[in-house]
């Protein structure tokens, strides 16, 4: 709210003055002072004043009918479906779940660099890498040998780790050919065995899964179902 | 706004929540005129306005649990305003015909100063009012609804901010831009300009009592 470059109060200032809405005393005094010496602005104000008066005189439109609701309508409306009654709750829940999911992802992302939960995972990977690096020979020999149960379990797991971490496919290809039918499950169990401290990670995964499920359900109940019902009603 | 010794809005809202369904109709009767007037000026189509108002009251009833106190009429108007904007957005164009209030259904509650003695002034004012009504139709939606709520329906800035979902500063600037636009629209039209100046001169020349209607 200021004066224009040629010294007159601008529209906003005049509009505020019109309804006595200039809170700042010195600004009001400046406008009054200007109006006292400026017929143009006095005319301007008078026109705005008349317009405002005419607006308040505009006849109210006749109601086409009364909008009161009948008892039947009210009763029927009051019995609305449960998901509509709890729609605000589901909306809030979906927002909370979305935020939580983002937080969980952030924790997951930041994990290798230093969050407390990540330490175990990082250590497990660090531990796994040197083992694979220094034991290609023994791994190569493992399938040829009489397959002692312990090494048979461990070798595919280690090769998996190697493929994932150090990215040397030759080692993996060399180690993998042992045609074990249960190779993949064995690798899974071995991985769990190899990193006993990884329970923190799987907890995080579980939390992500649960939060995502809650988010989907909340979104369905808060938005999709009411929208579908509304479309159906029409 | 409560002219009679009727129960306050909050009491009626509480009664509706407690299961007194008819109490809601008390609120409908109290506000239907205002809601309809605002919606009609926004969408400028009688049938559309009727549908929107009906829908707004139904929504208000089913969503009454979401009302968290404060100004009930602002909350109600917000529902109607949002519904009207939805409808406006979904329609590409709308008729620009000004509302012609059918003859003599001028509500007496609006005649704030019926102390206009001169017949010229009376006729000129009526003519100018019609032109102003037409000019109002040319304002952008946001300015128009703000001017209607403030200068026609007498809502406070705070209520208008709540209804239209903008800040107080935005309400004030929309209001001043809307009024300035109305003035320049009237001044741009030769006949309207003469009427405006004529009525003003008449107010000045006439008794000072007529001028002090501000």
pLDDT digits (tens, 9 = 90+) for B89-116: 887 555 555 554 444 444 444 444 445 4
Nearest CA in chain B to A79: B62
**pLDDT in tens for each of the 234 residues of chain A?**
577 767 788 888 888 888 887 888 888 899 999 999 999 999 999 999 999 999 999 999 999 999 998 877 777 776 666 777 788 889 999 999 999 999 998 988 887 654 454 444 444 445 444 444 444 444 444 444 444 444 444 444 444 444 444 444 444 444 444 444 444 444 444 444 444 455 555 788 889 999 999 999 999 988 888 888 777 766
Which of A80-89, A178-187, B20-29, B155-164 holds the top average pLDDT?
B155-164
Please report, rounded to a whole number, the percentage of residues in chain B having pLDDT higher than 90.
55
Three-state SS for B5-46 is CCCCHHHHHHHHHCCCCHHHHHHHHHHHHHHHHHHHHHHCCH
Residues in chain A within 8 Å Cβ distance of B29: 66, 68
Higher pLDDT, B120 or B211: B120
CB contact under 8 A, A77 and B62: yes
Mean pLDDT across chain B: 83
Decide if A63 touches B, using CB distance below 8 A.
yes
Residue with tokens 């108002």: B53
pLDDT of amino acid A201: 58
List Cα–Cα distances, A106 to A14, A37, A207, A208, B102, in angstroms.
53, 65, 13, 11, 64
φ, ψ of residue A9 in degrees (nearest 5): -65, 140
| DSSP track, B133-169 | HHHHTTS-HHHHHHHIIIIIT---HHHHHHHHT--HH
Is pLDDT of B129 > 90?
yes
Residues in chain B within 8 Å Cβ distance of A78: 21, 62
CB contact under 8 A, B183 and A48: yes
Decide if A77 touches B, using CB distance below 8 A.
yes
pLDDT of amino acid A124: 47
Higher pLDDT, B35 or B119: B35
Distance CA B120, CA B118 (A): 5
Task: Say if the ipTM goes beyond 0.95.
Answer: no
- Residue B193: exposed, middle, or buried by beta-carbon count in 10 A (0-12, 13-18, 19+)? middle
Nearest CA in chain B to A65: B50
Higher pLDDT, B204 or A58: A58
Higher pLDDT, A228 or B130: B130
**CB–CB contacts below 8 A, A to B:** 137
**Cβ atoms B134, B44 nearer than 8 A:** no
pLDDT of amino acid A210: 93
**Cβ atoms B79, B59 nearer than 8 A:** yes
In this prediction, residues B170-185 reach a mean pLDDT of 93
Q: Kindly report the nearest CA distance between residue B196 and chain A, in angstroms.
A: 7
Decide if A24 touches B, using CB distance below 8 A.
no
Nearest Cα residue to A215 out of A46, A68, A102: A102
Distance CA B166, CA A61 (A): 27
Distance CA A118, CA A120 (A): 6
- Residue A131: exposed, middle, or buried by beta-carbon count in 10 A (0-12, 13-18, 19+)? middle
Distance CA A46, CA A187 (A): 88
Of the candidates A58, A60, A78, the beta carbon closest to that of B129 is on: A58
pLDDT of amino acid A200: 55
Is pLDDT of B147 > 70?
yes
Decide if B101 touches A, using CB distance below 8 A.
yes
Of the candidates B35, B176, B183, the beta carbon closest to that of A47 is on: B183
Distance CA B206, CA B214 (A): 16
């Amino acid at each position: 709210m200021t004066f224009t470059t040629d010294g007159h109060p601008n529209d906003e200032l005049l509009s505020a003055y019109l309804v006595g809405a200039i809170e700042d005393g010195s600004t009001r005094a400046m406008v009054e002072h200007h109006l006292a010496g400026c017929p143009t602005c006095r005319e301007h104000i008078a026109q705005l004043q008349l317009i405002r008066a005419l607006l308040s005189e505009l006849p109210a439109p006749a109601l086409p009918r009364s909008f009161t609701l009948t008892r039947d309508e009210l009763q029927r409306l009051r019995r609305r479906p449960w998901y509509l009654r709890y729609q605000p709750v589901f909306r809030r829940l979906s927002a909370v779940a979305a935020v939580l999911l983002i937080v969980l992802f952030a924790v997951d992302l930041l994990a290798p660099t230093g969050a407390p939960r990540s330490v175990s995972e990082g250590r497990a990977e660090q531990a796994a890498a040197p083992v694979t690096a220094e034991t290609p020979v023994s791994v190569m020999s493992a399938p040829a040998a009489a397959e002692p149960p312990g090494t048979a379990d461990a070798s595919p797991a280690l090769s998996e780790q190697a493929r994932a971490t150090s990215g040397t496919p030759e080692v993996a290809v060399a180690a993998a050919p042992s045609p074990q039918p249960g190779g993949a499950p064995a690798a899974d169990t071995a991985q769990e065995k190899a990193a006993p401290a990884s329970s923190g990670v799987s907890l995080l995964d579980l939390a992500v899964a649960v939060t995502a499920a809650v988010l989907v359900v909340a979104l369905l109940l808060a938005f999709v179902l009411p929208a579908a019902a509304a479309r159906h009603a029409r | 706004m409560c002219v009679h010794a009727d129960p306050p809005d909050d009491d009626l809202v509480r009664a509706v929540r407690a299961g007194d369904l008819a109490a809601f109709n008390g609120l409908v009767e109290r506000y239907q005129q205002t809601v309809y007037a605002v919606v009609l000026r926004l969408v400028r189509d009688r049938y559309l306005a009727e549908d929107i108002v009906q829908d707004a009251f139904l929504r208000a009833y089913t969503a009454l649990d979401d009302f968290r106190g404060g100004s009930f009429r602002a909350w109600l108007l917000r529902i109607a305003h949002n519904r009207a904007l939805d409808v406006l957005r979904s329609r590409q164009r709308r008729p620009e015909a000004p509302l012609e209030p059918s003859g003599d259904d001028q509500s007496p509650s609006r005649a704030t100063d019926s102390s206009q003695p001169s017949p010229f002034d009376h006729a000129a004012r009526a003519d100018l009012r019609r032109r102003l009504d037409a000019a109002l139709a040319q304002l952008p939606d946001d300015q128009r609804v703000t001017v209607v709520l403030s200068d026609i329906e007498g809502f406070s800035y705070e209520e208008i901010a709540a209804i239209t979902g903008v800040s107080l500063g935005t309400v004030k600037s929309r209001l001043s831009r809307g009024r300035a636009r109305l003035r320049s629209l009237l001044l741009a039209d030769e006949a309207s300009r003469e009427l405006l100046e004529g009525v003003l001169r008449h107010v000045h020349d006439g008794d000072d009592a007529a001028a002090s209607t501000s």
